[in-house]
């Protein structure tokens, strides 16, 4: 079982993680990459596990149950005591339409009610500021508590006895209590009335949202949960999509492979958009295209960094903060050095990510010649750099090679520009970009093919394998039936597969040889197997991956192939994308059942 037994709530403005005992252990404000006011997932400087958490403790607690309200982002946790007392906690972030506008306040709501017996409860609300360095100044009113920090003030409004909450006094829970935690603003109604209404409207929103998804026949619950999770990783205000909502959950125990994933990698976002598009969820792509347009305008034909902040921030300077780390495994990093990297696949991710907007008539704003000209500047960079060394998609910090996966996406940029130009009836530009794409294609086939191994390899004139090569068929570089692709899939299986899991690569990098499998690579392998006709094998591996999800259907970045334990930042959008893509590729058609 995974120790990342966490459920995520959110509303496309913020996100929080709730453990199986109803403790909010992670929540950054005012947005995903903000100060983790609840940070106990990464420990506390005091060593007290209650610091940096919002805990609801049931006296005599012996077990708990946790689940999502079906087809929503609302989490219910039930705590059971030895004497038969039962308490139910409902957690959510309000999200619905109000006065014909989206309502997604920077707040979380908790509703607590007794289900059985006379439960005795203790509430411990201990936010911190500056990554746990600053304890808040606390003030209280008749129905609220304010937590004053150096840069923000938070307010918790509740109908619980303020004295009991503030002093963490154990008392008998005799009625429903509600807590609304967010900005320092007064509520317009009684907190229990307001939270109950917000819950009902939030449930309605998510059920209507999921109802519009074009899901496959099989594995519907897994796909819906993955889709909701991906949606929760989007920042609706700017259109950015974060890779995960956490920082510094290590890829493997005691490896220092601890990274801050609370930013928008253009590569990861591309995969998220494609997965949600496959379910006919278009809103995320439309929002992300706004974000991309702003990046393309800022780039103006120059170097494009692979990752940006949620608000288009360019400088994501990496530093280490004084928190113990996940299970005491530091360091805890804030920021990500990858913003300084040259990762040439990013140009392809931008162009391919935007390409659908030139073809899809459902969009409120389809792209035309003006947007095409912006993307041509991106394509010129792709062509210029397709045979140049870079850090690669795995963001190697101390080694540069001409990575095949980077060159592959440079080809994809030029290929899609040719197709877009043809759609826009710009015949001269279509021929221009087709010529560039063909040149890159020939270069890859010549320099990335290893005759001795009978396989494509991870870098030009190289000899190692890399799971990124599995994308060749997905982006259309080669048909899946091409013997070279089939042979490459076989070689990757021989070199990188451990049981039913796949590693990114099997050679040492900046931190040694990887110890855990990378979940999205396993999903890429599943897709490749299905494409080349090994569908039964692909289904078996897919079922293995579904069994690796935690108790509420979420996946992190990595997995220990021996124990099945989840590692890495959580929940990882890449991994949730894999759940959707696998189901869409492998499911039987609806016509087989109805």
Q: DSSP states of 229-254 as a string? A: HHHHTB-TTT--B-S-S-B---SSTT
Residue 122: strand pairing partners: 57
pTM equals 0.96
Q: Is 433 left (phi over 0), alpha (psi -120 to 50) or beta?
A: alpha
Instruction: Categorize the per-residue pLDDT at 302 as very low, low, confident or very high, splitting at 50, 70 and 90.
Output: confident
Residues 147 and 144: their CA atoms lie apart, in Å, by 10
pLDDT at 553: 98
pLDDT at 507: 81
Closest CA to 245 of 546, 38, 540: 38
Average pLDDT over residues 205-210: 97
Closest CA to 505 of 523, 517, 519: 517
Residues 256 and 249: their CA atoms lie apart, in Å, by 9
436 vs 204, 304, 456, CA distance in Å? 50, 20, 21
| Residue whose tokens read 């506008």 | 101
Please report how many Cα atoms fall inside a 13 Å half-sphere around the Cα of residue 35, on the Cβ side. Answer: 18
Average pLDDT over residues 445-463: 96
Q: Does position 542 have pLDDT exceeding 50, yes or no?
A: yes
In the chain, what percentage of residues exceed pLDDT 70? 98
Give the list of residues 6+ apart from residue 361 with CB closer than 8 angstroms, or none: none
Contact yes or no for 421/365 (Cβ under 8 A):
no
Convert the pLDDT of each residue in 213-236 to its tens digit: 999 999 999 999 999 999 999 999
Tokens of residue 354, six digits: 């935007």
Q: Does position 363 have pLDDT exceeding 90, yes or no?
A: no
User: For residue 485, how many other CB atoms are within 10 A of its CB?
Assistant: 22
Name the pairing type of β-strands 517-518 and 566-567.
unpaired
Q: Does position 306 have pLDDT exceeding 50, yes or no?
A: yes
- DSSP class of residue 520 equals H
Residues 61 and 120: their CA atoms lie apart, in Å, by 10
Contact yes or no for 545/526 (Cβ under 8 A):
yes
- Is 315 exposed, middle or buried, given 0-12, 13-18 or 19+ CB atoms closer than 10 A? exposed
Q: Does position 129 have pLDDT exceeding 60, yes or no?
A: yes
Contact yes or no for 27/15 (Cβ under 8 A):
yes
Q: Greater confidence, 393 or 139?
A: 139
- Is 200 exposed, middle or buried, given 0-12, 13-18 or 19+ CB atoms closer than 10 A? exposed
Residues 379 and 288: their CA atoms lie apart, in Å, by 19
Average pLDDT over residues 239-267: 95
pLDDT at 99: 82
Query: Taking all residues of the chain, what is their mean pLDDT, rounded to a whole number?
Result: 95
In this predicted structure, which of 338-352, 406-420, 440-454, 534-548 has the lowest mean pLDDT? 338-352
Compute CA 491 distance to the chain's CA centroid, rounded to the nearest angstrom: 29
Closest CA to 177 of 116, 224, 113, 229: 113
Tokens of residue 81, six digits: 């005591």
Give the list of residues 6+ apart from residue 235 with CB closer than 8 angstroms, or none: 12, 13, 31, 32, 241, 242, 310
- In our burial notation (b when 16+ CB lie closer than 10 A, e otherwise), range 147-175 reads bebeebebbbbbbbebeebbeeeebebee
Instruction: Categorize the per-residue pLDDT at 293 as very low, low, confident or very high, splitting at 50, 70 and 90.
Output: confident
Convert the pLDDT of each residue in 313-362 to its tens digit: 999 999 999 999 999 999 999 999 999 999 999 999 999 999 999 999 88
pLDDT at 397: 65
In the chain, what percentage of residues exceed pLDDT 90? 90
Closest CA to 165 of 141, 135, 188, 186: 141
- DSSP class of residue 300 equals T
pLDDT at 394: 84
What 3-state DSSP class applies to 114?
strand
Convert the pLDDT of each residue in 156-180 to its tens digit: 999 999 999 999 999 999 999 999 9
Tokens of residue 391, six digits: 């850090």
Residues 64 and 379: their CA atoms lie apart, in Å, by 53
Residues 47 and 484: their CA atoms lie apart, in Å, by 55
Instruction: Categorize the per-residue pLDDT at 513 as very low, low, confident or very high, splitting at 50, 70 and 90.
Output: confident
Closest CA to 351 of 326, 327, 373: 373
Q: Does position 1 have pLDDT exceeding 50, yes or no?
A: no
pLDDT at 393: 87
Instruction: Categorize the per-residue pLDDT at 400 as very low, low, confident or very high, splitting at 50, 70 and 90.
Output: confident
Going along the chain from its start, the domains and CATH numbers come out as 6-209 (2.70.98), 213-587 (1.50.10.10)
List the alpha helices (DSSP H) in 315-403: 345-355, 369-385
pLDDT at 539: 98
592 vs 20, 217, 527, CA distance in Å? 38, 9, 21
- DSSP class of residue 396 equals -
pLDDT at 24: 98
Closest CA to 574 of 303, 127, 284, 226: 226
pLDDT at 514: 84
């Amino acid at each position: 079982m995974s120790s990342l037994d966490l459920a995520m709530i959110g509303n496309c403005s913020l996100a929080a993680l709730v453990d199986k005992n109803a403790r909010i252990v992670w929540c950054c404000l005012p947005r995903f990459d903000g100060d983790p006011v609840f940070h106990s997932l990464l420990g506390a400087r005091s060593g007290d596990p209650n610091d940096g958490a919002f805990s609801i403790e049931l006296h005599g607690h012996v077990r708990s149950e946790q689940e999502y309200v079906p087809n929503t982002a609302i989490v219910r946790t039930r705590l059971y005591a030895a004497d038969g007392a039962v308490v139910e906690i409902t957690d959510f972030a309000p999200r619905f339409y109000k006065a014909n506008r989206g309502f997604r306040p920077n707040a979380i709501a908790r509703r607590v009610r007794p289900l059985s017996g006379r439960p005795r409860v203790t509430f411990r609300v201990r936010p911190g500021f500056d990554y746990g360095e600053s304890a808040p100044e606390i003030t209280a009113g008749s129905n609220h508590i304010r937590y004053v920090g150096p840069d923000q003030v938070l307010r918790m409004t509740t109908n619980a006895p303020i004295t009991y909450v503030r002093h963490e006094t154990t008392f008998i829970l005799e009625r429903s209590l509600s807590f609304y935690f967010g900005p320092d603003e007064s509520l317009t109604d009684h907190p229990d009335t307001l939270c109950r209404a917000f819950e009902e409207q939030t449930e309605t929103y998510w059920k209507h949202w999921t109802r519009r998804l074009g899901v496959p026949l099989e594995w519907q619950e897994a796909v819906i949960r993955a889709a909701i999770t991906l949606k929760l990783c989007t920042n609706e205000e700017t259109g950015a999509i974060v890779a995960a909502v956490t920082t510094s959950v290590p890829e493997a125990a005691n490896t220092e492979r601890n990274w801050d994933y609370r930013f928008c990698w253009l590569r990861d976002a591309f995969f998220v958009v494609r997965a949600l598009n496959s379910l006919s969820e278009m809103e995320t792509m439309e929002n992300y295209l706004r974000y991309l347009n702003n990046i393309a305008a800022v780039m103006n034909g120059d170097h494009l960094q692979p990752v940006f902040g949620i608000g288009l921030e360019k400088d994501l300077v990496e530093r280490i903060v004084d928190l113990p780390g996940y299970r005491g495994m530091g360091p805890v990093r804030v920021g990500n050095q990858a913003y300084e990297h040259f990762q040439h696949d990013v140009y392809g991710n931008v162009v391919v990510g935007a390409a659908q907007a030139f073809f899809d008539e459902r969009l409120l704003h389809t792209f035309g010649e003006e947007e095409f000209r912006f993307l041509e500047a991106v394509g010129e960079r792709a062509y210029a750099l397709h045979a140049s060394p870079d850090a690669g998609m795995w963001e190697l910090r101390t080694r540069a090679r001409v990575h095949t996966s980077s060159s592959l996406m440079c080809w994809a940029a030029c290929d899609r520009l040719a197709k877009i130009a043809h759609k826009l009836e710009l015949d001269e530009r279509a021929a221009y970009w087709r010529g560039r794409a063909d040149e890159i294609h020939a270069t890859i086939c010549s320099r990335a093919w290893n005759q001795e191994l009978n396989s494509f390899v991870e870098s030009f004139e190289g000899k190692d394998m890399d799971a990124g090569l599995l994308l060749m068929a997905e982006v259309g570089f080669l048909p899946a039936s091409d013997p070279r692709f089939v042979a490459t899939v076989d070689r990757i299986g021989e070199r990188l597969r451990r049981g039913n899991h796949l590693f990114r690569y099997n050679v040492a990098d900046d931190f040694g040889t990887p110890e855990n499998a990378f979940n999205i690579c396993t999903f890429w392998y599943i897709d490749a197997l299905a494409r080349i006709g090994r569908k039964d094998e692909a289904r078996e591996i897919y079922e293995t991956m579904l069994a690796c999800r935690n108790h509420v259907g979420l996946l992190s970045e990595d997995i220990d192939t021996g124990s099945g334990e989840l590692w890495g930042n959580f929940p990882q959008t890449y991994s949730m994308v894999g759940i959707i893509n696998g189901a869409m590729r492998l499911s039987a058609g609806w016509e087989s059942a109805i």
